[in-house]
Structure 1
Amino acid sequence: MVKNKIKQLRMAKRMSQEQLAEKAQVSVRTIQRLEAGEDASISTLNLVAGALGVEVGDLFPTSNSEQQADKIQNAADQLHYQLDARHDEYHLFKKLFNAIYIICMLALGAVYFAVAGALRWVIVFLWVGGWIIMSPLKKWLVIQKINPKLDAKYPLTVNRVDKNGSD
């Protein structure tokens, strides 16, 4: 039996076991077992803590058990490792997106000076359109393509508010 505060935290957030299980991406039976005091893996504890918006250590009352303290520290270390790696990959995507965008805009600028007549207006339209669609395109890519891949690669970060770092 492992004493924890999962039920109190869940109830304080006015969540049912089903809602917590769905948000943590675990089964309802897992939530029931955790609330009954059964032990769980570090990754499960990280997922539940993330769904509740707390750190793993906040799931347990102050404990004098060295084994429990080691498990909590190990869970925190794994989470922070995955968060750091995810932040690095996310920021690399942002840098690549911005570099490609700047190159495209510079290329359009160069083409503008190389052409004449009505084709210049097409280039102007593409230039202005590029500025308008840049931000929505980046958001769409993050939501539809980047986040799902990073969620699969770094599962402990799925429910974290800070999973993409500071934008």
Structure 2
Amino acid sequence: MDTSMGSKVAERILQLRLAKKMTQEQLAERADIDASVISRIERGSRSNIRLDTLEKIVTALGVDYASIFSFPDSNHVKTRIDSKLDLITDQETLAAIEKLVDLLAVPRK
């Protein structure tokens, strides 16, 4: 498994795109880039993504840079949780998770 930053970002773009139920063509259209660019990025054949291209993809996905750089294989539990939460788009589910976090965040005596 390739663990380079480029391949991690490519996999993350794919995860976020699928979570948003978008095709490569839809993402490309929203990002105003060619669909072949999205395809090459996601396949890993284009591991050095230009910053302006990454900015367009981030904007088109409606996420922030932290979401793009939150990897599920991180050594940090909080980062792994964040990466999974970014994939949930259902607002009711997110509200339920928020309530659970609120309950867990209450200081213990």
- TM-score tier after normalising by the smaller chain length: 0.5 to 0.7
Instruction: Quote the offset at 1:10 in angstroms.
Output: 0.4
> How many residues are paired up?
64
User: Which residue of structure 1 lines up, in the alignment, with residue 69 of structure 2?
Assistant: 60
User: Which residue of structure 2 lines up, in the alignment, with residue 144 of structure 1?
Assistant: none
Deviation digits for residues 98-141 of structure 1 (CA, Å, limit 9, x no counterpart): xxxxxxxxxxxxxxxxxxxxxxxxxxxxxxxxxxxxxxxxxxxx
Instruction: Quote the offset at 1:20 in angstroms.
Output: 0.3
Matched, 1:51 2:60: yes
Q: Percent identity?
A: 41
Structure 2 unmatched runs, 5+ = 75-109
User: Which residue of structure 2 lines up, in the alignment, with residue 32 of structure 1?
Assistant: 39
Aligned-partner Cα distance in 2 for 1:11–1:27:
18
Aligned-partner Cα distance in 2 for 1:34–1:61:
17
Equivalent runs, 1:8-157 vs 2, <5 Å: 8-37=15-44, 38-62=47-71
Instruction: Quote the offset at 1:40 in angstroms.
Output: 0.8
Aligned-partner Cα distance in 2 for 1:57–1:50:
12
* TM-score, normalised by the number of residues in structure 1: 0.35
User: Which residue of structure 2 lines up, in the alignment, with residue 131 of structure 1?
Assistant: none
Aligned-partner Cα distance in 1 for 2:43–2:66:
18
User: Which residue of structure 2 lines up, in the alignment, with residue 67 of structure 1?
Assistant: none
Residue 61 of structure 2 aligns with an amino acid whose one-letter code is L
Q: Could you say which structure has the higher helix fraction? A: 1
Aligned-partner Cα distance in 2 for 1:34–1:17:
10
Instruction: Quote the offset at 1:59 in angstroms.
Output: 1.5
Aligned-partner Cα distance in 2 for 1:61–1:33:
21
Aligned-partner Cα distance in 2 for 1:34–1:40:
7
Instruction: Quote the offset at 1:61 in angstroms.
Output: 3.2
Which of the pair has more CA radius of gyration?
1
Instruction: Quote the offset at 1:15 in angstroms.
Output: 0.4
User: Which residue of structure 2 lines up, in the alignment, with residue 7 of structure 1?
Assistant: 14
Instruction: Quote the offset at 1:29 in angstroms.
Output: 1.1
Q: What SS does structure 2 have at the residue aligned with 1:11?
A: helix
